[in-house]
Chain A
Amino acid sequence: MSEALSRREVLKALSAIGLVGVLSPKVLAANQQSKLVVVGGGFGGATAARFAKRLLPTLNVTLIEPSQTYIACPFSNLVIGGVRTLNQQMFSYDALRAEGIRVVPEMAVAVDSVARRVTLSNEAVLSYDKLVLAPGIDFRWQALDGYDQATAETMPHAWKAGVQTEMLKRQLHSMQDGGTVAISVTAAPFRCPPGPYERASVIAHYLKHNKPNARLIVLDSNERFSKQPLFLAAWRKNYGDRLEWRNPSNDGRVNSVDANTSTLHTDFDSVKADVINVVPPQQAGFIAQRAGVANQSGWCPVNALDFESSLQPGIHVIGDATIAAPMPKSAFAANAQAKVCAIQIVRAFAELEIEATTLANTCYSFITRDSAISVSDVYRNDGGELVSIKGAGGISPLDAPDEFRAREAHQARDWFDTLTRETFL
């Protein structure tokens, strides 16, 4: 290349080989100072911040996340089962900082969608051109009678990974052989649809090998659940009478919790257990409620073309907080939505039309410590509504041999490594 080469000539050359051609230099110059603020540093938020910055390096990207370390929920059931450490679930934001993203360790406490400003817990105010909310979930304390923040200190939910995960693990591991473990599962929708049943599998596996006289009972507010035939078959085969699952038709719905007596109450029964894990009622994270992007259900309706809120223009919502069914509340879905959202936001900055795309999800669940099952689905975009593509997706075969389940466990580990690397490392 010669010294005399001008910027115009470079662009012309790049256009000729198909690299450029959609953005005018004028649009880019106008967006030199554009600001993207992302709230929430999980699989959705971290990915959105990262991809937007990579797509438009001149974009000013700020990620608001109070925790210095992210503790991943996928695979955290294996920590409870004692086959993985919590350290293996931890990720810092150093790689994002190194890519030029400003990471602010505060809580977002208010959003002014007209003035386009976010207020933080330290009273700082950030202005934005585009806002992405990826707040995950909050618990609806007392929506299950008797279950609140204080109760959760003795009856862990372990549905946000961290100290709660360690607490449930400690209780399980210090329980005497012959004891009873109970899991209460709230009615859908909740984070990670197959999560309670993977947890039941991992705990049953632990009991079988460490406390053979102990038993596990799952009290479920759902008649049916994700990957159900696969889980039921795996439970019969591996855990027999050790694991009992009751749906509402079999008096499985828990109506109230008594922490003092360590008891779960259903319509007609009371189940006293040595270790109680409550998967509590949930809603979109705090800031979603404050920003006015959640509806009466507590979750956030979105236009799935670009994940813009149906309630507040200029605010995008991704991940567990959204109503994106049939796409589930999963880490993989949040990561996939974040990438599409980032692409569409940068297209909007470049004054390009929004383009519909096809999304997909894959989730693995362990049924023993070294065998797993999966569900996958592909979704087309029908004018902002996601629709599962018929004939595609589905669960692992019911009749698969053990080697197939072992291979899916290997795939699950690769899935975790790849997804966390793309998001955080």
Chain B
Amino acid sequence: MTVSCRKTTVPMLAPVLLVLLGGCAGSAPNIDLGEISAELNNSALTQAASLASVCSGCHGFDAKKQGIVSLKGYSAERLSILFRGYKNDSDSRTAMHRMARGYTDEQIEQISMYLADR
């Protein structure tokens, strides 16, 4: 399986860049932080973001869960392997198994890359 490095690093870089921009905003008055952060958030307007928006209804990004796994800190590759594992395990019938069968492999890739390393 191949996973694009470029895309998986996006969510990690975003907050870092925001901090950097915030740090230099005072000394560079021609940078409008609000405007730029709006543009930053455009990665959240993509098809992948729409698809993945459903996931966060059940899956949080913090640890210590009893029933539903947190998605914190997974690589795109790992997420994709797990997701496809649910999809292709025809003997099991947890809520996630039943849901996973509704997504194409391409959608699973998109979602996994979007959610990676949160």
A residues with a Cβ closer than 8 A to B are 1, 3-7, 10-11, 14, 17-23, 25, 28-29, 51, 54-58, 332, 335-336, 339-340, 343-344, 346-347, 350, 352, 355, 357-360, 362, 374, 376-380, 389, 391-394, 396-397, 400, 407-415, 417-419, 421-422
Contacts and interface: CB of A to CB of B under 8 A. Distances in A.
B68 interface: yes
B40 A14 contact: yes
Interface string B20-61: 110110011011101111111111110101110110111110
Contacts, number: 184
Contacts of A344: 50
Contacts of B47: 355, 357
A418 B54 CA distance: 12
Given A378-B102, A394-B93, A414-B67, A336 B45 contact: no
B66 interface: yes
Contacts of B7: 18
Contact of A358 (B6, B65, B66, B107): B107
A6 B93 contact: no
Interface of B is mostly: helix
A346 B50 contact: no
Contacts of A10: 21, 31, 36
A350 B40 contact: no
A345 to B, nearest CB: 10
B17 interface: yes
B57 A57 contact: no
A336 B54 contact: yes
Q: Which 7 A-B pairs have the closest CB atoms?
A: A378-B102, A392-B102, A410-B67, A411-B67, A357-B50, A339-B53, A392-B101
A360 B68 CA distance: 16
Interface residues of B, number: 53
10 contacts: A1-B20, A7-B31, A22-B45, A54-B41, A332-B58, A335-B57, A389-B101, A392-B102, A396-B93, A418-B59
Contacts of B98: 376, 392-394
Given A18-B10, A376-B95, A418-B58, A6 B68 contact: no
B69 to A, nearest CB: 9
B81 to A, nearest CB: 19
Contacts of B3: none
Contacts of A357: 47, 50-51, 53
A362 B58 contact: yes
A303 to B, nearest CB: 15
B82 interface: no
B93 to A, nearest CB: 5
Contact of B30 (A6, A352, A360, A407): A6
A80 to B, nearest CB: 23
A376 B17 CA distance: 38
A13 to B, nearest CB: 9
A377 B95 CA distance: 9
B13 interface: yes
A352 B42 CA distance: 11
B114 to A, nearest CB: 12
A410 B95 CA distance: 13
A1 B23 CA distance: 9
Given A19-B10, A392-B102, A414 B66 contact: yes
Given A5-B24, A7-B32, A357-B47, 7 more contacts: A7-B31, A339-B50, A343-B49, A393-B101, A409-B67, A411-B58, A422-B57
A413 B53 contact: no
A92 to B, nearest CB: 20
A377 B54 CA distance: 12
A29 B27 CA distance: 22
Contacts of A343: 44-45, 49-50, 53
Nearest to B92: A397
B53 A391 contact: no
B41 to A, nearest CB: 5
Contact of B99 (A360, A411, A417): A360
B53 A7 contact: no
Contacts of A21: 42
